[in-house]
A and B are shown apart, each in its own frame.
Chain A
Amino acid sequence: MMALPLISPNICNLEPQGFYIHIPFCRRKCFYCDFAITTGKTELQEHYVEVLCQEIALIAKESFPYTAALKTIFFGGGTPSLLKPCQIDEILQTINRYWAIANNAEISIEINPGTVTVESVKAYRSLGINRISIGAQAFQDQLLDLCGRGHSVTEIYEAVAATKQAGLDNFSLDLISGLPTQTLSQWQESLSQAIALEPKHIAVYDLTIEPSTAFNKRYRAGVNPLPNDESTVEMYLMARDRLQGAGYNHYEISNYALPNYQSRHNLIYWHNQPFYGAGMGATSYINQYRIDRPQKMREYLAMVEAWTQGNSPINPPQISDREALFDTLMQGLRLAQGISFEHLINRFGSASIQETIPQLEAYSPHWVTISPTHLYLTQPEGWLFSDEVIGSLFTYFFDCPHPI
């Protein structure tokens, strides 16, 4: 059986209340993307949904006696909008068979321009989906092309219009800065266009060149035609400036939201709270077991098959409290409000603070702010150097595994 875990009493209260569902299908792979995706055909999609529902049932069986109602469900991808609404329905019904879904639960789906219509968004809405995340990325056809996005600027507008017409106004837009050949004025234009569409939430990612991507074959970080660090920093600051000016809170390193519209599902990650996960490449975090599912379709299908037979194919060691402390710091420092000392004390004891603070003092106040109640990265400078700060904590926690 899968090693899900006797529940240790001190974290009994931390029951998973979010569920991530990975839908790995894409029409084509974007040139910068290294997520677990597949360009599989319709028949494969049907089979996948079937297996995914089997997995959800298995998770339910193993997770007994967790009973808390789900407060968030997130369909991420890939391109979840490639599934038919009835397939989404089947997945949601399977979840609902085993878990209660809270009345005001946030149920999100990621969609790509060119894959939705007013009808499909209406159908999502009728299934209870109340938040849509649209992968816009850029507002210049030439840049979309260069990224291999497979949709046009016009299709972004169409997708937003469809969403609004379907009566779903809680939507988010994704943008990427630091794209090859991207200029500051193009970036400014993308920001303005995005703001004009009045999303409730905007995610702004600074492009990272990942090893196994088409971009990695073509470009080198910081080298023309990729903008240099000076330019991408300027883009980052410009986004902050423009979006804050338009009323969005910069509540996380790369996320902005109007008041009350923060992504509740993502907050689970950033608070390092437990969550369920299902589907190819998905991660779950339950009772301090972090389980990463296979990134390849065949291996994922085989895993579920084996699990049905009673064999647990993955059995990682439980995360120690110390590692969980590091994870909490790493994730929490992404948030504008940072981590509250009260939370750290409740979860890890007061020694955790005595140990952490001295590691960060060297960075205070330029990169790290230590307030009487919270620990957070100084904004925006500390965010720009977040991996320096988190990296030094990482070295500290993993090179010196025992507390002083």
Chain B
Amino acid sequence: MTDVPVSRIRNFSIIAHIDHGKSTLADRLLQATGTVKSREMKEQFLDNMDLERERGITIKLQAARMSYIAHDGLEYILNLIDTPGHVDFSYEVSRSLAACEGALLVVDASQGVEAQTLANVYLALENNLEIIPVLNKIDLPSAEPERIAAEIEELIGLDCSEAVRASAKEGVGIPEILEELVKKVPAPKDTVDQPLRSLIFDSYYDTYRGVVVYFRVMDGTVKKGDRVRFMASGQEYVIDEVGILAPNQIQVDSLHAGEVGYLAAAIKMVEHARVGDTITSALNPAIEALSGYIEAKPMVFCGMFPTDADQFEDLREALEKLKLNDAALNYEPESSNAMGFGFRCGFLGLLHMEIVQERLEREYNLDLIVTAPSVIYQVTTIKGEVVLIDNPSELPNPQERTKIEEPYVHLDIMTPQGYIGTLMELCETRRGIYIDMKYITKDRATLTYEVPLAEIVTDFFDQMKSRTKGYASMEYEVIGYRENDLVKVDILVNDEPVDALACIAHRDKAYTLGKNLVSKLKELIPRHQFQIPVQAAIGTKILARENIPAMRKNVLSKCYGGDVSRKKKLLEKQKEGKKRMKSIGTVDVPQEAFMAILQLNQS
């Protein structure tokens, strides 16, 4: 089965914006090549995390090997390497693209190219991939394949005269796509004789086999029993199992240059076999690793605390397990006066954070309170030391620091022209610096700004979507640190500062932020038996104050008759509600309050 000549292998991935039909198309390809029988077909086969299927987006990427007999009568091996479709995971995308020679560019024939897609196309071009444009969803009445084809030509400079018109949903265009792959995507280079070099594009932890590594063999051959070295981590392991992904794992004896597969070697954690690392032979190592390896660094931080203090150890274990599988996840113990013991966790971005939170809650049954996300600040102290602060409550006092620098991103937003005004306004209110605006077609433009990352990790994305009815899309990349006049805004509940609610903001925005936060908290914190003042302050200077009036009643006067069970259900709800709150002194604060900063409507 593995004995295919390199000349008849085609490695490709699919580039598409969320909702443009990538998963459906992948499903159709698997069906058309008989890789997955129709009756086994779950919708969106490649996305196998529950969360992914629910949200219809790919987070962990996957691969599938298909066998296809082309019109020339020869059998070809098509390896589809799926890519995650979110900005948090652009590094993973770049690695899976590096494992391919070609890519299908799938564009919704009524919506056109989005920023995310564009960024990925550029990544593909950088990796020298052959790009085959596919105009999808042509069955929709709103489809305008001509206009979109013109847009792609203008935008990317890609010849679209032979673009495949498809409807993955209806199965239209699938045979044409398969033929195009064989004809246009170059075969991998035949470097079977060289020392082994394999590129890791994904890995996951399996309880029984250790880390399972997905890779593309770039040079040489790899087989069961080989001792291999992971060049970046320096770890060595003996391979227990080599196989292909069809898309279920099937063991084979060996894999050679051009092929895509998996290996298991009782690898202890994903960190030992990170995405982008090069696998080589321990006995006959390659001189140089494959280029492009970067260690993913967390950019967004938040505190995660168990609602029930007894779950602290469970949370630690759960994070340890997730970490086995997620090299980009960072965490260290944190103790907060309001929240007790928990962890300060670092993520690639907001989505990554949300995913981890949901997995902890769903898969590990933990009840969590999560603080508002923060970025990492560089603070220079009066002693001239530079410290990295990822937790606002740890910011040194004003008299102990000389400056604070914050991360900035280069932000590209693609939008229909009608929304340029409102998007510019959004960027300005988020302290954005205007860089450029280009019309990519006569009615679509790219706006470029440099914006502090802290302004992006709140509700920027949601704001952008709601201001443009969902039409705009964005892409950003961290470009470095810049000094700003930043201050720490403290929140005091019943005269006690709450560390978990502290945030860092620009001085000019601190007053509005404080005012909004305080009035939001007034809504979120329930009445108690006494009046509760809620204040925002910079140091000793009070920016805003609201009072939560004392509770006047807590009574259910309705006569449920004999329906005692029902009243008890309500009491149970009241009890659970109280349990999910954190006590700050004598005040019970609900979980939502700690995310209040995200809920502020800053528009």
Contacts and interface: CB of A to CB of B under 8 A. Distances in A.
Interface of A: 20, 76, 203-206, 208, 229-230, 232-233, 236, 253-255, 266, 268-269, 272, 275, 277, 282-285, 290, 292, 327, 330-331, 383-388, 390-391, 394-395, 398-399
Given A390-B571, A391-B571, A391-B574, A233 B552 contact: yes
A330 B567 contact: yes
A230 B552 contact: yes
B71 interface: no
B559 A383 contact: no
Contact of B561 (A204, A266, A383, A384): A266
A76 B572 contact: no
B435 to A, nearest CB: 43
B557 A204 contact: yes
B567 A386 contact: no
B527 interface: yes
Main secondary structure of the interface of B (DSSP, over half): loop
Interface string B526-542: 01010000000000000
Given A253-B555, A399-B575, 7 more contacts: A203-B559, A205-B559, A206-B555, A208-B556, A275-B562, A282-B562, A330-B571
A205 B553 contact: no
Interface in B439-471: none
Contact of A385 (B555, B565, B572, B578): B555
Contacts of A331: 564
Contacts of B553: 206, 229, 232-233, 236, 384-385
Nearest to A392: B575
B50 interface: no
A255 B559 CA distance: 9
B568 interface: yes
A229 B552 CA distance: 6
B49 interface: no
B37 interface: no
Contact of A394 (B529, B555, B559, B568): B568
B310 to A, nearest CB: 13
Contacts of B564: 269, 272, 283, 285, 290, 327, 330-331
> 3 nearest interchain CB pairs?
A254-B557, A384-B553, A229-B552
Given A387-B571, A391-B574, A292 B557 contact: no
A16 B554 CA distance: 32
B72 interface: no
Given A394-B571, A394-B572, A395-B575, A277 B555 contact: no
A229 B558 contact: no
Given A229-B527, A229-B551, A394-B572, A387 B562 contact: no
A274 B567 CA distance: 17
Contacts of A399: 575
A394 B575 contact: yes
Interface residues of B, number: 25
Nearest to A399: B575
Contacts of B527: 229
Contacts of B529: 388
Contacts of A232: 553
A212 B522 CA distance: 27
B288 interface: no
B40 interface: no
Q: Which of the listed residues B527, B553, B556 has the most CB atoms from chain A within 10 Å of its own CB?
A: B553
Contacts of A208: 556-558
B563 interface: yes
A275 B561 CA distance: 11
A254 B562 contact: no
A20 B555 contact: no
7 contacts: A203-B559, A272-B564, A292-B563, A330-B571, A386-B554, A394-B568, A398-B575
Contacts of A394: 568, 571-572, 574-575
A394 B571 CA distance: 7
Contacts of A254: 557-559
Contacts of B571: 330, 387, 390-391, 394
Interface in B576-597: 578
B557 A206 contact: yes
A29 to B, nearest CB: 16
Nearest to A76: B561
Contacts of B559: 203, 205, 254-255, 266
Contacts of A395: 575, 578
A254 to B, nearest CB: 4
Contacts of B549: 230
B574 A20 contact: no
B311 to A, nearest CB: 16
A390 B552 CA distance: 16
Given A285-B562, A331-B564, A387 B552 contact: no
Given A391-B571, A394-B571, A383 B562 contact: no
